[in-house]
Amino acid sequence: MSRYLEEIAHRCKRSAWNQSQYGILQYPGCTYPLISCRLGSQDKPAILITAGAHGNEVAGVYASLEFLEKFAQEYLRHFCFYVYPCLNPHGFDLGVRWNTADSETRQDANRSCVHGTTVPECAAFIEALRDGPIHYVMTFDLHETPENDAEIMAEQYQSRATTGYEETPRDFYFWETCKKQGSRIGNAIIERLTPDVSLCTWDEIFGDTNSGGVIYYPEGCKNPDYLEGPIDSYLHGRYSDHCFTAETYGGWSLQRRIDVHTLFVRRALDCYLPQ
Ligand SMILES: [Zn+2]
């Protein structure tokens, strides 16, 4: 049975959100309808939330739906939410980072989000974006750093003959891509998350420059792997000038990871509200 169909697609269908099926993916044994949800009035500034690009990083998938169910209401006076809860349903069902488990053919949906991509998960998403708002005030892509991330990444990097990173953060951190330094809210978010959430304070995370839990792009980008291909790199400049990627630690309980993701999105939205 498909966990995606049972838990995610079904939960969306049951809801009162405005839903779209933006594509269909065919994998042996299962056909996946790709679903996005909108909540709010389309004349409000748009917010984009994406999750599940990496199938083994499940908390973001549940968090995106929990955000719509429990927290979006209090922001509907200000924003309209567009949510793609599970970009890679086959990976989600298999519990793997990639879109299949086959090491010969598997693809990484968060390294393939480029114009002209042949990765079906990314192609469908890119196509769907064209039918949505032309501008998002902010975008949030929800990820996780699994406990065995070093192993997973070593496997992925090996196939490309580059080096993985051995150290894996065990605290929350996020990327903020925003060219205008005066518009950045990374520090304000961190202040609002403290002390409820422990943040990674290393100087570097996967080679990138970390500033107390936030990696500011473009200048913090030192890892060439992140230049092109991640979802935030596709969105930035095309659909938004303010893009976030958030990372919970897979070693926490699932509910804790979900809570931290929803709290992060709420605290970021709060920064945009009149005080
Ligand atoms: Zn990820």
**Spacing, Cα 170 to ligand 1 middle (Å):** 14
Measured in Å, residue 13 CA sits from the centre of ligand 1 at 26
- Residue 145 CA, ligand 1 centroid: distance in Å: 7
- Report CA(268)–ligand 1 centroid distance (Å): 20
pTM recorded for the entire structure: 0.97
C-alpha of residue 273 to centroid of ligand 1, in Å: 29
Q: How many angstroms separate the alpha carbon of residue 62 from the centre of ligand 1?
A: 14
Count Cβ atoms within 10 A of the Cβ of residue 69 and give its class: 0-12 exposed, 13-18 middle, 19 or more buried. Answer: middle
Q: Is 118 left (phi over 0), alpha (psi -120 to 50) or beta?
A: alpha
- What is the C-alpha separation between 256 and 59, in angstroms, rounded? 9
| Structural domains of the chain, ranges and CATH numbers in brackets | 3-270 (3.40.630.10)
**pLDDT by residue, tens only, the chain of 275 residues:** 899 999 999 999 999 999 999 999 999 989 999 999 999 999 999 999 999 999 999 999 999 999 999 999 999 999 999 999 999 999 999 999 999 999 899 999 999 999 999 999 999 999 999 999 999 999 999 999 999 998 888 888 776 555 567 688 999 999 999 999 999 999 999 999 999 999 999 999 999 999 999 999 999 999 988 989 999 999 999 999 999 999 999 999 999 999 999 999 999 999 998 77
Could you tell me which residues come within 8 angstroms of residue 17 by beta carbon, excluding any fewer than 6 positions away?
37, 38, 39, 68, 83
Q: How far is the CA of 245 from the centre of ligand 1 (A)?
A: 9
DSSP states of 70-83 = IIGGGGTTT-EEEE
CA of 131 to the centre of ligand 1 (A): 25
By the 8 A CB rule, do 141 and 246 touch? Answer: yes
- 88 CA to middle of ligand 1, Å? 11
